[in-house]
Chain A
């Protein structure tokens, strides 16, 4: 049993974790009393107790530095430590977004060059770095779609088409932008059902949002036909770049017919995920959408860089210019790899995923038995038939020392297990994981109980999520 405690448990009157200087100017009279607060009930903790507490908490976590973290769709790759050091340079962290443009030319140069690199990598014309995460990049894309049609006097396009395998953010974003959502089914091969798409693609449709490769980890070979169908009927093709890790230096979104694509710099371009952010979700567009991009863009004049706002911009997405700290790491990543290095990244990511697929398909149902890209989606339905759920398999993996894959997504695969090894894992690690997955498949036959009760050696066991939602306890109170 572990010792559980919270900040109030180590708080004692009179303690402090940091000493501040005393006032060096004459004090001013305080404002009217009714403006002031009487009590400020924050914990009082000494520095050493605080450090031990948070160190204790950190040890309850599993990160990429701990071990293999094949969380599908999240691209949990190892990120070079020196990129972290670069991002901490005072000239990059200690600068204010509103100081004069002349005094931050280094920052603007970095942003300008990153815009150019991302446009080149995606095969698009213009990039805005403003979105602060992938979902906000999607928001920017769909607001641009809206503005584009409105600018053409086309007010009847009120629907966004979203594949049934899409991330939840795709339909949620469409709804946030005032669009209705129509779901396009996948066919038996895991590709978009072209016949259905053709039937659904009418003049009420503003755009199709498509993740490429799809969330099934597959490249849709009919992409050119999809693009033709959408564009022929006046729609736009929006890319969700969540899976760009498989296409770097190999394939360009622009060539495939996409009008815009949102990226996740924290996934593809080397920013540790921080326990859930910060991220960065730039949008790259073709010329037809460039005037609508979110503000600001960095442009280069004769001798310096400056910010500009596109003519018909959808507006601002944040109080400054996006998550600059994340941009720095992405910039460092691209500069340290170059075109050939990026290509190797994708080739290794795809090789690793296909290796797992081949070595595990005899043990777990593979719904789409074809070459995959950077991730492979299995189904736990054979195990489910024996009473062992995908959740059980995931939890048992923890006992073997691995972070579980993404589970129950995409929704189109029953009992889905979505495994993304990334390029930063060695064959040795993959072999150990394969061995664990095979053992678990055997246990599902011979000793299912051990799966139902997994994990066994974690700081906590399976948690009661139902009562957590029914009787929410979301904070402590200190009085």
Chain B
């Protein structure tokens, strides 16, 4: 039976083979030694559109999806409201069926949108320049560490122990090729060895509370190290951006800005830095220029940093990134704009504090940290978080992240604008009854 994606008929194929001078497709594989050709492939039999849609609908129903459950889980991936506009723009196939804009004259849509993206994320982080994006927040942090080593010509990295442990693991993987040690800096001890290329800090940190960014910036700069901040982009709707503290590189997971969680991928690694480091930055960059008629237009620029030109001397091996996610982020930021993003941040802030306050008042529950926080907080519980989450799940609630492996009987809750007062009250009530 013909396949809908393959437009050639048998007659077309025969005509083409005749032109080529062969009698079958098989003859075109003559360079493959015979013993390697036409081996057995054991795959399930093909299914029609109708059958496979139904099968995958059933498979997807075996996942507890957050549209049906109330979610208090964050820890790096956040459920925020996504205005319909975002999907309608990214759903335009002129955007999503194009590739990397190598041919600028027929790619101005992608290029100009990327220029908008770079501008918007710089405005948000308070930094001077941005690239077109990395794979996710963790790889952006890891590439930032490598970039700091290039800039300072030092071969050691320091990271606060309060950064997301998953990010820490990815940084470890990325620096392992060069045997770069990663020093763990405990929060009560602001010291780290003076030969480090950078200090990596998360703001607000993995546990949800704000670090003394000013003190850490000073400390890093005093030793000649760069300050790398992993930011929460939604928090930047109301909190002072890292750029204002003097950060050198600011990275972030961009998923929260208009993208579904999607089981953790695709995400988007936001990567911004100070202008003086531009030429050592990884990833694609779009610049504005003019055409032969002096009309404004956009191109991929400073490609001499990149692998396809510089090969083993490139600033990174990154090629394909997360362009469509960056487009969604661009549309999200433009849709909410100045007042909308602030409002989202404030809704998160007030609701999270309402929740923390209410949970903290329940017998046996207490907040582990007293520092100011944004939308996530750690609660010490009277029973094992695992048990709590099982009970919550029965009530169609996805509870917080079990942190028992780090802090006894504690869990990290996240509250966003999607959690209603009713959701929060229900959570508190169930917790109190345990």
Min CB distance, A242 to chain B, in Å?
10
Complex contacts, B15 vs chain A, CB 8 Å: 427
Q: Across the interface, do A277 and B109 meet the contact criterion of CB distance under 8 Å?
A: no
Is A153 at the interface (CB under 8 A from chain B)? no
A220 to B132, CA, bound (A): 36
Q: A40-B237, A178-B179 are in contact. Are A60 and B112 (CB under 8 A)?
A: yes
Q: Across the interface, do A465 and B321 meet the contact criterion of CB distance under 8 Å?
A: no
Pick from B7, B15, B122, B333 the residue with the most CB of A within 10 Å.
Answer: B7
Is A387 at the interface (CB under 8 A from chain B)? no
Q: Across the interface, do A475 and B115 meet the contact criterion of CB distance under 8 Å?
A: yes
Q: Across the interface, do B398 and A17 meet the contact criterion of CB distance under 8 Å?
A: no
Min CB distance, B396 to chain A, in Å?
11
Complex contacts, B194 vs chain A, CB 8 Å: none
Complex contacts, B346 vs chain A, CB 8 Å: 23
A-B Cβ contacts below 8 A, count: 661
Contact of A325 among B77, B262, B292, B343 (CB under 8 A): B262
Q: A110-B59, A178-B179 are in contact. Are A16 and B337 (CB under 8 A)?
A: yes
Contact of B63 among A106, A275, A371 (CB under 8 A): A106
Q: Across the interface, do A44 and B109 meet the contact criterion of CB distance under 8 Å?
A: no
Q: Across the interface, do B65 and A74 meet the contact criterion of CB distance under 8 Å?
A: no
Q: Across the interface, do B63 and A107 meet the contact criterion of CB distance under 8 Å?
A: yes
Min CB distance, B360 to chain A, in Å?
12
Q: Mark A213-236, 1 if CB is under 8 A from B, else 0.
A: 000001111011000000000000
Within 8 A of B (CB), among A84-121: 85-86, 89-100, 103-107, 109-110, 117, 120-121
Is B365 at the interface (CB under 8 A from chain A)? no
Q: Mark A442-473, 1 if CB is under 8 A from B, else 0.
A: 00000000000001001111111101110011
Is B3 at the interface (CB under 8 A from chain A)? yes
Q: Across the interface, do B263 and A95 meet the contact criterion of CB distance under 8 Å?
A: yes
Q: Across the interface, do B65 and A91 meet the contact criterion of CB distance under 8 Å?
A: yes
Complex contacts, B309 vs chain A, CB 8 Å: 168
Q: Across the interface, do B43 and A339 meet the contact criterion of CB distance under 8 Å?
A: yes
Q: Across the interface, do A169 and B129 meet the contact criterion of CB distance under 8 Å?
A: no
Within 8 A of B (CB), among A370-385: 370-371, 373
Contact of B95 among A2, A61, A343, A459 (CB under 8 A): A61
Q: Across the interface, do A426 and B19 meet the contact criterion of CB distance under 8 Å?
A: no
A347 to B8, CA, bound (A): 11
Q: Across the interface, do B3 and A120 meet the contact criterion of CB distance under 8 Å?
A: no
Is A195 at the interface (CB under 8 A from chain B)? no
Q: By the criterion of a CB under 8 Å from any partner CB, how many residues of chain B are at the interface? A: 201
Complex contacts, A403 vs chain B, CB 8 Å: 103, 106
Q: Across the interface, do B287 and A469 meet the contact criterion of CB distance under 8 Å?
A: yes
Q: Across the interface, do A106 and B60 meet the contact criterion of CB distance under 8 Å?
A: yes
Is A286 at the interface (CB under 8 A from chain B)? no
A276 to B286, CA, bound (A): 13
Is A440 at the interface (CB under 8 A from chain B)? no
A169 to B282, CA, bound (A): 13
A475 to B17, CA, bound (A): 51
Contact of B110 among A61, A317, A355 (CB under 8 A): A61
A106 to B61, CA, bound (A): 7
Q: Across the interface, do B115 and A474 meet the contact criterion of CB distance under 8 Å?
A: yes
Q: Mark B20-52, 1 if CB is under 8 A from A, else 0.
A: 111001101111110111110111111111001
Given A31-B372, A176-B316, A472-B278, 11 more A-B residue pairs with CB atoms under 8 Å apart are A62-B103, A63-B96, A69-B99, A86-B52, A95-B263, A252-B36, A275-B100, A319-B77, A398-B105, A459-B297, A467-B290
The 10 closest A-B pairs by CB, nearest first: A320-B264, A91-B60, A274-B324, A97-B264, A63-B97, A338-B46, A106-B62, A278-B266, A61-B109, A276-B323
